Amino acid sequence: MIRKSLFVLFIFSGILFAQSIDETLQQIDALKKEIVQNEKLVEEKIADLKRTNPLFAEQDMFESDAEYLGRMSRAMPQLDREQTPGVQTRDREKVLISY
């Protein structure tokens, strides 16, 4: 009788564990889709910045490397803010904010 009870207990715990893994895999897939969508949004924002903001323009042939790097270093804080919506910086590490 005890063997049967233990066997049934192991079967049920295995089923519960399998459901938990399945739920986790579904959450991972949903997060992957969200990441892909966010990456596309960031790329669109960067392309828009390059079109509309002179700080983000490509280096032209009359601009020295030093001037271009100086301009890019002034633009990087704004670019970092654009790339990290919904993310806060804490001790130079990016942490996802849950809403």
Question: What's residue 82's pLDDT?
Answer: 65
Question: What's residue 18's pLDDT?
Answer: 65
Walking along the chain (99 residues) 10 residues at a time, the average pLDDT comes out as 71 69 86 90 85 84 89 81 57 51
* Cα separations in angstroms, 56 against 64, 67, 78, 89: 15, 13, 10, 23
User: How far is it, in rounded angstroms, from Cα 89 to Cα 72?
Assistant: 21
34-61 as b/e, with b when 16 or more CB fall inside 10 Å? eeeeeeeeeeeeeeebeeeeeebeeeee
| DSSP string over 15-34 | HHHHHHHHHHHHHHHHHHHH
Going through the chain in order, the beta strands assigned E by DSSP cover 87-90, 93-96
| Max Cα-Cα span within the chain | 88
The answer to pTM > 0.75 is no
